[in-house]
Structure 1
Amino acid sequence: MTMSLRARLFALCFLFAVPLAAFTHEQTLLEYADQCVKEIGEIPPFNCNDGTDIPITIDGKPPGPNESPTRCDKPSLLSPRAEAKGQCVPFSKILNLSRGNTQISAYCRRDVLREDKSQFYDLVVVVVHHSGNGKTCWFASKPPPLPQSQADVPASSGIVATRVPPPNERKPPSGQPSAVEFWATPAMVASSTADNPTCLKCHDAGPFIFSPYIGQVWDKVPTDPWGKYSSIGQAFSSYHLMTMSTPGNTCVGCHRIGSEQSCTAYLGLSVGKRNAPGGDQLASSYPLNHWMPTDNAMSNEQWDKANVASVEALLACCRDPAHKDANCAFTPMPSSSTNRALH
């Protein structure tokens, strides 16, 4: 055997010995954005200050002009299992940028107190979903830059969000940030930890989540509670969401219920079994701590009679990850290729 042939054979053996993942190209932001535009639709540039304020109240009243409460009646549940900065900070905003079947919800969050129309925010998140094919994409801004000196106050730092660039934009207007400067990579958005679950872990039943906080501006949020739902993009390909139900369950009359953060957080939060992180006494009392159904007009006793058995049945399914309970139906999230139930 010649040296050249041995070298070629060695190289071939080495190629097969290396895992295929080592040669997988990680999808860039622009590649992911291009895919989302092609399969769902364009995200236009927008100004966070054009959004609708998400109200903050304490005992039913708004805070004073320079007050930044740590607890409130309807805290943000962006961190559903632990108290976090910004859950009751005023002047976060929501925008509905939808058109036709392309549903786009943008959330501009403030973690520190600023003027209502300040150009600075601490997080911008966009969910883009197609109500026909069910495909969904997730975008989140990069963390804001750290203050350059101790003299910098938080109110004068953060993310400039008066022109949020489309995630697929190559050439922004002069003086404006480019998409790759503004948006985190899809791999960063898809990453998940116990303390900071990825978008899909919380949005486990559909692309848009109701809570008392976001429910205050629910008319500004697109909804698709029973439509197809799947996340596209290489970074999200490992997530395979399941919905769950039990026979005659009253909790699945208006929307699906997922088996991820719905089990670990939202079921308990929505039926008074857990207190909302950042919530005050009003938030932890009936009826605010029972926010399903959303139009709840029942007494606490009436609510318990109508719904407690269904809640307990679902929580039992949550404790059955092996899917052995015959009463629990776990169903792959409906998309163009999944429609069967697992028991």
Structure 2
Amino acid sequence: MKVLLRLFALYLIMCNAVFADRREQTLLEYGAQCAREIGEIPPFDCNSGTNIPITIDGKPPRQDESPKRCDRPSLLHPYQDWPGQCIPYSRIRNLSRGNTQISAYCRQEKLRKDPTPNFDEVDIVLHHAGNGKTCWFQSQSKRPGADGIDASRVPPPNEKTPPRGRVSAVEFWKTPAQTAKQNCMSCHDAGPYIFSPYIGQVWDQVPTDPWGKYSSIGPAFAHPPLLVISTPGNTCMGCHRIGSDKSCDVYLPFSAGRRTLTTGERAPGNDQLANSYPLSHWMPTDNNMSHAEWDVANLRSVDALLLCCLDKNRKDCKFTPIATGDKTRERGASQ
């Protein structure tokens, strides 16, 4: 009888371990893991960030204007128009220190008087330039009837108890599972940060790690190995990697004045100036070439990569997993 009881107790312990593994990680658990393995995110005020400019034909919009088209629209939703693509007063904040890189993006989707404590969304990319580990945080949707989210004090995602009168981390941030549904790595397929003409205006406020290790931590963000593309002698890879997901379909074509591979659409929100050279060709970032010079220098390389995107079995196409620091995972990806 004692043997049976011991076996039953062992069975319960094993079952509890299995169910614990299947339980979703809470926001505070994820925040604590990210703080432990990457670094702490301090509380901050979105209004202390840098304003991301919006211009139309080179000029700022009127104070009462909510433009639908602009010179450098946000590409947060690259397949369709969305309310915030040309709305002024979104802000970027660089909270990095040492190898701990923290990029906070505070979005406006409707026109508000600036400054205002209210924003429509707050997103954070937390990345370690040494071990490559990366975490993703997205704010909860605004409450019905509320004029946005009060971002005058954005709480650290691992903060258990906020100061009196302030919103808690659990109230402010989505759970890891909710954030993971956005499939962050499909767009961030070559590294934690994405360049575009929009964010390029404040690129000095964005941490960069174009060749470093890169992986997402937390069970909600488990994903197949990210693959980057290369072809012999390609000029497009001198400064950064080229991913094989949304980089293929969206960002590589857009950066060369092309349309998306799948839908054939131009970048949403582009005005006439945005669709004209040189704004239409935003790689390399320091482009000062004529259109003809750009074609001679880059057209063949762009075409080679896009052919790889369309047919991964082409002879000259090489797809390589990004180094993650996880040797077991990297060996599996290369087999």
Name whichever of 272-281 and 123-132 sits farther off.
Answer: 272-281
- Kept after mapping to 2: 8 A contact 1:329/1:342: no
In the other structure, the counterpart of 2:263 is none
Overall identity of the aligned pairs, in %? 63
Report the alpha carbon displacement of residue 80 of structure 1 after superposing the two structures with TM: 1.2
In the other structure, the counterpart of 2:297 is 306
TM-score (norm 1): 0.88
CA spacing shift, 1:130–1:222, aligned 2, 3 Å:
same
User: Distance in 2 between the 1:140 and 1:106 partners?
Assistant: 10
Question: 2:151 matched to 1:161?
Answer: yes
User: Distance in 2 between the 1:29 and 1:199 partners?
Assistant: 17
In the other structure, the counterpart of 2:75 is 77
User: Distance in 2 between the 1:33 and 1:337 partners?
Assistant: 21
2:273 aligned residue (252, 271, 282): 282
In the other structure, the counterpart of 2:254 is 269
- Kept after mapping to 2: 8 A contact 1:106/1:124: yes
User: Distance in 2 between the 1:291 and 1:41 partners?
Assistant: 33
- Kept after mapping to 2: 8 A contact 1:229/1:333: yes
Report the alpha carbon displacement of residue 143 of structure 1 after superposing the two structures with TM: 0.7
Which secondary structure state, in structure 2, belongs to the residue aligned with residue 307 of structure 1? helix
In the other structure, the counterpart of 1:123 is 121
For structure 1, the 5+ residue unaligned runs are 149-156, 193-197
- Kept after mapping to 2: 8 A contact 1:94/1:220: yes
User: Distance in 2 between the 1:262 and 1:324 partners?
Assistant: 18
User: Distance in 1 between the 2:319 and 2:137 partners?
Assistant: 28
User: Distance in 1 between the 2:170 and 2:281 partners?
Assistant: 41
2:320 aligned residue (331, 336, 341): 331
Question: 2:107 matched to 1:109?
Answer: yes
In the other structure, the counterpart of 2:54 is 56
TM-score (norm 2): 0.90
User: Distance in 2 between the 1:180 and 1:22 partners?
Assistant: 20
User: Distance in 1 between the 2:254 and 2:223 partners?
Assistant: 27
In the other structure, the counterpart of 2:64 is 66
User: Distance in 2 between the 1:81 and 1:300 partners?
Assistant: 26
Report the alpha carbon displacement of residue 263 of structure 1 after superposing the two structures with TM: 1.0
User: Distance in 2 between the 1:169 and 1:21 partners?
Assistant: 26
- Kept after mapping to 2: 8 A contact 1:204/1:262: yes
Which secondary structure state, in structure 1, belongs to the residue aligned with residue 75 of structure 2? coil
In the other structure, the counterpart of 1:181 is 171
Which secondary structure state, in structure 2, belongs to the residue aligned with residue 45 of structure 1? coil
CA spacing shift, 1:175–1:336, aligned 2, 3 Å:
same
Q: Deviations over 1:10-41 (max 9, x none)?
A: xx8xx99xxx6896111111110100000000
CA RMSD of aligned residues (A): 2.5
Report the alpha carbon displacement of residue 237 of structure 1 after superposing the two structures with TM: 1.3
Q: Deviations over 1:231-278 (max 9, x none)?
A: 111101124211111111111110001011101111111100122211
User: Distance in 2 between the 1:289 and 1:81 partners?
Assistant: 17
CA spacing shift, 1:257–1:167, aligned 2, 3 Å:
same
CA spacing shift, 1:309–1:183, aligned 2, 3 Å:
same
Question: 2:214 matched to 1:229?
Answer: yes
Counterpart amino acid of residue 278 in structure 2: P
User: Distance in 1 between the 2:29 and 2:233 partners?
Assistant: 44
Q: Deviations over 1:99-127 (max 9, x none)?
A: 11101000000000001111110000001
- Kept after mapping to 2: 8 A contact 1:104/1:127: yes
Counterpart amino acid of residue 280 in structure 2: N
User: Distance in 2 between the 1:73 and 1:342 partners?
Assistant: 42
In the other structure, the counterpart of 1:215 is 200
1:202 aligned residue (171, 174, 187): 187
Which secondary structure state, in structure 2, belongs to the residue aligned with residue 26 of structure 1? coil
User: Distance in 2 between the 1:127 and 1:319 partners?
Assistant: 30
In the other structure, the counterpart of 2:262 is none
User: Distance in 1 between the 2:288 and 2:19 partners?
Assistant: 54
Q: Deviations over 1:147-186 (max 9, x none)?
A: 17xxxxxxxx110000000000011011100000000011
For structure 2, the 5+ residue unaligned runs are 260-265
- Kept after mapping to 2: 8 A contact 1:330/1:342: no
Counterpart amino acid of residue 216 in structure 1: Q
Counterpart amino acid of residue 217 in structure 1: V
Report the alpha carbon displacement of residue 337 of structure 1 after superposing the two structures with TM: 3.1
Name whichever of 238-247 and 56-65 sits farther off.
Answer: 238-247
User: Distance in 2 between the 1:22 and 1:52 partners?
Assistant: 42
Q: Deviations over 1:63-84 (max 9, x none)?
A: 0111110110000011012111
CA spacing shift, 1:21–1:220, aligned 2, 3 Å:
same
